[in-house]
């Protein structure tokens, strides 16, 4: 599992269309055509072939650690297949994506997501302090 964690002043996503790649992907039910969050941690992540609940737990712990350091409770989860060339099958990726969302929503965090399985346009305003950009592999 690979993750890019960004401390953002603003993150906005507009859903454009359902994705048809990788083969077999079934997009989640669209909640809305846009999502927006301010003063948040944006979690771009990609599920890889050998990933399982252990990697989700490790990512969850890293998110908790970083949000404490940044003094934020707002999290935008953004599935982002482009972080790896060793991607998991779409159903496995979707299952682990929902697993992470559930773990985060069962806490004090305010959680939103940029939808699994869609082409999107993004607006991202990242803060410039040390630690506002972090890349992790689990």
Residue 59: pLDDT over 90: yes
Residue 31's pLDDT is what? 87
Kindly indicate the confidence band of residue 97, based on its pLDDT and cuts at 50, 70 and 90. very high
Residue 103's pLDDT is what? 98
- List the end-to-end C-alpha distance of the chain, in Å, as a whole number: 5
**How many angstroms separate the most distant Cα atoms in the chain?**
40
Q: How far apart are CA 116 and CA 44, in angstroms?
A: 11
- Residue ranges covered by each domain of the chain: 2-6+14-137
Residue 76: pLDDT over 90: yes
Kindly indicate the confidence band of residue 55, based on its pLDDT and cuts at 50, 70 and 90. very high
Fold category of 2-6+14-137 in CATH? 3.50.80
What's the pTM value of the predicted model, to 2 decimals?
Answer: 0.95
For residue range 36-49, what is the model confidence (pLDDT) as tens digits? 999 999 999 999 99
Number of H helices, E strands in the chain: 2, 6
Kindly indicate the confidence band of residue 82, based on its pLDDT and cuts at 50, 70 and 90. very high
Of 31 and 77, the structure prediction assigns the larger pLDDT to: 77
């Amino acid at each position: 599992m690979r993750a890019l964690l960004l401390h953002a002043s603003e993150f906005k996503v507009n859903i454009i269309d359902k994705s048809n790649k990788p083969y077999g992907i079934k997009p989640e039910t669209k909640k809305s055509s846009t999502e927006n969050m301010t003063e948040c941690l944006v979690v771009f992540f990609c599920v890889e072939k050998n990933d399982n609940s252990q990697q989700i737990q490790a990512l969850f712990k890293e998110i908790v650690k970083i949000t404490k350091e940044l003094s934020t409770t707002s999290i935008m989860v953004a599935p982002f297949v482009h972080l790896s060339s060793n991607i998991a099958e779409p159903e496995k990726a979707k299952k682990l994506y929902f697993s992470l969302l559930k773990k985060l929503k069962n806490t004090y965090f305010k959680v939103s997501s940029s939808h699994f399985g869609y082409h999107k346009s993004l607006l991202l305003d990242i803060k410039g302090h040390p630690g506002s950009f972090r890349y992790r592999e689990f």
